[in-house]
C-alpha cells in the first residue's frame, strides 16, 4: 500500500483520499456499472457494523465519509477534525476490508441506479454524449458511463459485488493520500494501525485485456422534439501519460473554458448562435477525447456544427498569438493552483497522480510542461488530433435531417 502524507497546519482538519485501482475501466461490458453500485452499498454495512451504526459513528463526530466510482479509479473520501481522524480512518478501513453488501441495500441501490439511467435517457445532452462516446470507444469500457446500461445494471447482484471486491480491494492496489494537521510520520503510523495486518493475496493482480481503440469518425443523430438542438463534435485525444497532454489541456482552456474562451466569444457573443457552448478534455489513463458542444436553436443546427468545427480545426492552420497563448497559460495554471487550496483538494491531486502511475512529482512537472508550450507546439498538437471529428446531433428531426 502506498501512503502519501502532506502536513498542513493551517486548520484543525485532516482530509483523506483512499484510491483503489478499480472503476469503470476494470469492468466487463456486461457488468458495466459494477463499481458505481459497489460505491453505493460499501457504506451500508460491514461484518461488524450495520448501516445505522456506521452513520452514527460518522455523524457523532461531525465527520464526512463518502465513496465514488470514476472511470479510472474507485475512491473513499473522509474529512474530520484532527482529534477524530484515527477513529474515522479505522472505520474507513473496516468498510474497505470487510463490507457485507446487505441484500436489501444492494437491491435498493440497484433500483435507484436504474431510475437514474432511465432519467438520463430523456436528457438531450446525455443522449448526444452517450452516442458520441460509444462511437469513439466501441468495445472499450470508456464507451459507457459509470452507471452502465439498463441491461448491465439489471443483471448485477450481491455475488458480483463480492467477487469484484475480492479481486481489486487489496493493499497492493491502494493509494492512501492524507493532508492536514498531522505530521507525516504520525499519518503513516495511523495507516499502519488501520491497515497494517491486511495482507495481499499471493497471486499478482491482472487487469482486463482491453480492446484497442480504433479511430473511425462517424456521424450520429437522434431525433427528439426539443426546443433546442445539441450539436457535439469529438476528437480522439492523448491520455494523461502522453507527451501531448499539457498542450491539449492548454488548447482546451483556450477554446472552451469560461466566458472569455474562444468558442464562447465567437459563437455565442458575436454570432448569437449558442444557448450554451463549451468544451472539455477529461484526464484519462487510456486515450481521451476532446469534445466541443453547443445548445442552439433548431434552425441554427447546421451553422452551429460548421462553427464548432471551424473554431476547433482552425488551430491547425492558425497559430495562437503571443497574447492568446499567455492568457490561456495564466488561466489554466491559475485554475490549477486554485484547485489545490484545501486539504481535500491536495489529497485528491497527489493521490490521483500516484494512482495512475505518474507520481506526485507530476504536480510540479505539469506546471513546467504547460509553461513550456509554444505556439508552434500547440499548432502541431492541434494538427495531430483535430483531423476528422465524430459528430453527434440531438434535436427535432426537421433540423438534424438537413445537416450533412
Are residues 114 and 245 located together in one domain of the fold? no
pLDDT at 403: 84
pLDDT at 165: 97
Are residues 56 and 171 located together in one domain of the fold? yes
Strands 288-296 and 274-280 turn out to be antiparallel
The answer as to whether 208 is a domain residue is no
Q: Say which CATH number the domain at 339 has.
A: 3.30.830.10
pLDDT at 329: 98
For residues 263 and 292, is the Cβ–Cβ distance under 8 A? yes
Are residues 229 and 368 located together in one domain of the fold? yes
For residues 378 and 250, is the Cβ–Cβ distance under 8 A? yes
The answer as to whether 181 is a domain residue is yes
For residues 169 and 22, is the Cβ–Cβ distance under 8 A? yes
292 forms bridges with which residues in the sheet? Answer: 233, 279
pLDDT at 356: 93
The answer as to whether 209 is a domain residue is no
User: Which residue range is the domain that position 249 belongs to?
Assistant: 219-400
Nearest to 214 by CA among 130, 287, 128: 287
Residues of the chain with pLDDT under 50: none
Are residues 263 and 315 located together in one domain of the fold? yes
pLDDT at 404: 65
CA distance 124 to 228: 9
Are residues 142 and 224 located together in one domain of the fold? no
The answer as to whether 211 is a domain residue is no
Are residues 184 and 244 located together in one domain of the fold? no
Are residues 45 and 107 located together in one domain of the fold? yes
The answer as to whether 132 is a domain residue is yes
CA distance 120 to 312: 28
Phi-psi group of 9: left, alpha or beta (phi > 0 → left; psi -120 to 50 → alpha; rest → beta):
alpha
Are residues 370 and 261 located together in one domain of the fold? yes
The residue length of the chain stands at: 404
> What is the DSSP code string of 151-164?
HHHHT--HHHHHHH
The answer as to whether 14 is a domain residue is yes
pLDDT at 49: 95
CA distance 269 to 260: 10
Query: CA 46, 52, 56, 57: dihedral to nearest 10 degrees?
Result: 0
The answer as to whether 112 is a domain residue is yes
Are residues 277 and 135 located together in one domain of the fold? no
Are residues 356 and 279 located together in one domain of the fold? yes
Q: Give Cα separations from 207 to 97, 166, 282, 283, 357 (angstroms).
A: 20, 14, 22, 20, 15
Q: Is 328 exposed, middle or buried (0-12, 13-18, 19+ CB in 10 A)?
A: buried
Which of 180, 195, 210 corresponds to the end of one domain? 195
Which of 129, 162, 195 corresponds to the end of one domain? 195
Edge to edge, what strands does the sheet with 174-180 contain? Answer: 2-7, 174-180, 13-20, 74-81, 64-69
Q: What angle do CA 288, 293, 297 make, to 5 degrees?
A: 165
The answer as to whether 310 is a domain residue is yes
7 forms bridges with which residues in the sheet? Answer: 180
pLDDT at 375: 98
Are residues 144 and 273 located together in one domain of the fold? no
Are residues 188 and 270 located together in one domain of the fold? no
- Give the number of domains in the chain: 2
> What is the DSSP code string of 180-202?
ESS-HHHHHHHHHHHHTTPPPPS
Amino acid at each position: 500500500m502506498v501512503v502519501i502524507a502532506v502536513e498542513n497546519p493551517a486548520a484543525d482538519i485532516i482530509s483523506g483520499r483512499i484510491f483503489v485501482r478499480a472503476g469503470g475501466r476494470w469492468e466487463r461490458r456486461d457488468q458495466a456499472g459494477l463499481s458505481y453500485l459497489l460505491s453505493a452499498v460499501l457504506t451500508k454495512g460491514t461484518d461488524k457494523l450495520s448501516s445505522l451504526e456506521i452513520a452514527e459513528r460518522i455523524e457523532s463526530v461531525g465527520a464526512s465519509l463518502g465513496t465514488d466510482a470514476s472511470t479510472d479509479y474507485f475512491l473513499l473520501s473522509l474529512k474530520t477534525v484532527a482529534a477524530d481522524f484515527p477513529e474515522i480512518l479505522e472505520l474507513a478501513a473496516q468498510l474497505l476490508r470487510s463490507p457485507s453488501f446487505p441484500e436489501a441495500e444492494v437491491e435498493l441501490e440497484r433500483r435507484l441506479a436504474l431510475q437514474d439511467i432511465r432519467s438520463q435517457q430523456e436528457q438531450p445532452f446525455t443522449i448526444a454524449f452517450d452516442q458520441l462516446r460509444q462511437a469513439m470507444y466501441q468495445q472499450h469500457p470508456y464507451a459507457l458511463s459509470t452507471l452502465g446500461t439498463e441491461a448491465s445494471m439489471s443483471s448485477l447482484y450481491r455475488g458480483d459485488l463480492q467477487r469484484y471486491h475480492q479481486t481489486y480491494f487489496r493493499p497492493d492496489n491502494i493509494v492512501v493520500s492524507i493532508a492536514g494537521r498531522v505530521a507525516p510520520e504520525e499519518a503513516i503510523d495511523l495507516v499502519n494501525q488501520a491497515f497494517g495486518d491486511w495482507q495481499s493475496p499471493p497471486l499478482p493482480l491482472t487487469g482486463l485485456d482491453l480492446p484497442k481503440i480504433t479511430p473511425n469518425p462517424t456521424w450520429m443523430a437522434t431525433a427528439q422534439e426539443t426546443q433546442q438542438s445539441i450539436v457535439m463534435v469529438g476528437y480522439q485525444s492523448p491520455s494523461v501519460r502522453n507527451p501531448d497532454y499539457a498542450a491539449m489541456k492548454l488548447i482546451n482552456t483556450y477554446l472552451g473554458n469560461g466566458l472569455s474562451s474562444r468558442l464562447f466569444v465567437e459563437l455565442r457573443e458575436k454570432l448569437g448562435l449558442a444557448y450554451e457552448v463549451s468544451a472539455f478534455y477529461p484526464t484519462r489513463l487510456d486515450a481521451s477525447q476532446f469534445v466541443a458542444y453547443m445548445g442552439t436553436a433548431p434552425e441554427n443546427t447546421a451553422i452551429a456544427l460548421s462553427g464548432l468545427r471551424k473554431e476547433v480545426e482552425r488551430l491547425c492552420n492558425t497559430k495562437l498569438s503571443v497574447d492568446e497563448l499567455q492568457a490561456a497559460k495564466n488561466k489554466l495554471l491559475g485554475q490549477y493552483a486554485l484547485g489545490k487550496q484545501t486539504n481535500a483538494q491536495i489529497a485528491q491531486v497527489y493521490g490521483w497522480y500516484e494512482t495512475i502511475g505518474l507520481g506526485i512529482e507530476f504536480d510540479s512537472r505539469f506546471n513546467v510542461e504547460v509553461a513550456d508550450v509554444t505556439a508552434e507546439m500547440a499548432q502541431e498538437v492541434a494538427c495531430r488530433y483535430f483531423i476528422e471529428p465524430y459528430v453527434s446531433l440531438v434535436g427535432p428531426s426537421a433540423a438534424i435531417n438537413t445537416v450533412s
